[in-house]
Amino acid sequence: MGVVIESSVWELNPAIFLFLSVCCCFSIFLYPHLSSLNRTSTIFDHGISSSFTSFQRNFLFVYSLASVVEGLWSVFGEFELASYGIGREEMIMSLCYGYTTALFAAPFLGMLSDLIGHKKVCLIYCILHFLVGVWKKITQQPSIFMTSICLSMANTIFSFSFETWMVTQHEKQGHRLDSLNDTYWLMTFFESACFIASQMLANGLVGNSMMKNTAPSSAVIFLAIICFIFLTRGWTETPGATSFKEYSLSFYAYIFGDKRIWLLTVAQACLHFSIGILWILWAPTVVADGREVQLGLIYPCFLGSRMLGSTVFPCLTSGPSSFRIEDCLVYAYITLAALLSIVAYDYQEIGVLVTLFSLFHACVGFILPSLARLRTMHVPNELRGGMMGLSLAPANAAILLSVVQGGYYRNVGNAALMAFGVFGLLLAAGCMYALKQCGKQPYNNWHKQ
């Protein structure tokens, strides 16, 4: 007589989504009262909008469109490759193509953004997504090499060009410098919400069919066109540097010659590396030993946690009891390292893993706007794109090495890769502590306006 072993699929409690939604809504409704203590204009103001509020809403709308486009490929990418019959080896090669492209393209695109203007580079972002969408519509099986290169370049542009345009225009229009805090955390909040929306849109377009489906490509084409139109008509161009020689001299003097910017660059690179490693390994870690999990329900839980974490930023930086941002980042990085080290050290149950990963993303939601604020304090706006592109290069190099050694050659285990991420986060915490010790004389005086 045979023994039948029943397999159960681990499911996330639906109350978690309700809890995250309620917490995010509570934070959103509470924030205007906290903001009133600091007398800053916010997106939540009622009545006649100020020039800053109009500027902020216009930017966040376009940024949200770009986030949905970015999220569609992120959610749909692996499913699409599987529908073409592409196996594990080819998927790993796709990652290698992408990170290799980003490794070399990030510094170039960052400097190009500063030189020719950020609006032009944002338009290139829309064009790249449009071309990839059209190519996938008309080609039976698009080249993995070319699509990985185009999407990697678009992702790199998304990482810094929209932010650099917003900051530069914010200064050019004469808005209060401290009101940038609102836009920074709202960028993280809206980006995470749009990634969840893109997953819902992709699921609705694909349905239950496992065959080739070009509906998400059509959605990307449409959204890229809309985003391009709003960029063209609603955004003004920011003039770049007068010459490459002048830009090079300024870049060498401020970026390479300032210890504080180097510390900030290393901290950003370490965060990008740890996030990249986690996004590659979280699913294999959760389904280890053949465990069955509905991964599609865990993904929005992470993003919801990041949304909630971003709402902590204004609570700690607004009002009379605000904390120094470097102190907060030291503890945030150490918390990230502790959370990731638990996963790397020992085998965990699925519920514990989901909790740890959710807390990790909540901390990331706080760190992202915090680093954006530090960039405004220490980095000249005309060099901001180059600095952010430079910080992406070592992170992409480290992720590429991890993918090759851990995914392709399998010389390094997942736990060891996460341990490298822990080391990077501790290094970032040390950089933030050293940045705090460097003094309180930033490039941009935060309270000058």
Buried b (16+ CB within 10 A) or exposed e, 69-78: bbbbbbbbbe
- Spatial CB neighbours of 366, under 8 Å, sequence gap ≥ 6: 309, 310, 312, 313, 316, 328, 332
Q: Is-contact 116 57, C-beta < 8 A? A: no
Residue 75: its pLDDT value, please?
Answer: 76
pTM comes to 0.91
> Quick one: tokens of 10?
């681990």
- Spatial CB neighbours of 277, under 8 Å, sequence gap ≥ 6: 399, 402, 417, 418, 420, 421
Q: Please state, as a whole number, how many other Cβ atoms lie within 10 Å of the Cβ of residue 197.
A: 18
Top CATH class of 55-437 equals mainly alpha
Residue 435: its pLDDT value, please?
Answer: 94
Q: Please state, as a whole number, how many other Cβ atoms lie within 10 Å of the Cβ of residue 143.
A: 11
Distance CA(394)–CA(399), nearest Å, equals 9
- The one-digit pLDDT tens for each residue of the chain (449 residues) are 344 334 567 878 888 888 888 888 777 766 655 555 444 445 555 444 588 888 999 999 999 999 999 999 887 776 677 667 777 788 889 899 999 999 999 999 999 999 999 999 999 999 999 999 999 888 867 778 889 999 999 999 999 999 999 999 999 988 888 788 889 999 999 999 999 999 888 888 887 665 666 788 899 999 999 999 999 998 988 666 668 888 988 899 888 889 999 999 999 999 999 999 999 999 888 888 777 888 888 989 999 999 999 999 988 876 555 688 999 999 999 999 999 999 988 777 888 999 999 999 999 999 999 999 999 999 999 999 999 999 999 999 999 999 999 887 788 888 999 999 999 999 999 999 999 988 655 444 443 43
Q: Is-contact 231 345, C-beta < 8 A? A: no
Rg (CA), the chain: 22
Q: Where are the domains of the chain?
A: 55-437
Distance CA(407)–CA(267), nearest Å, equals 25
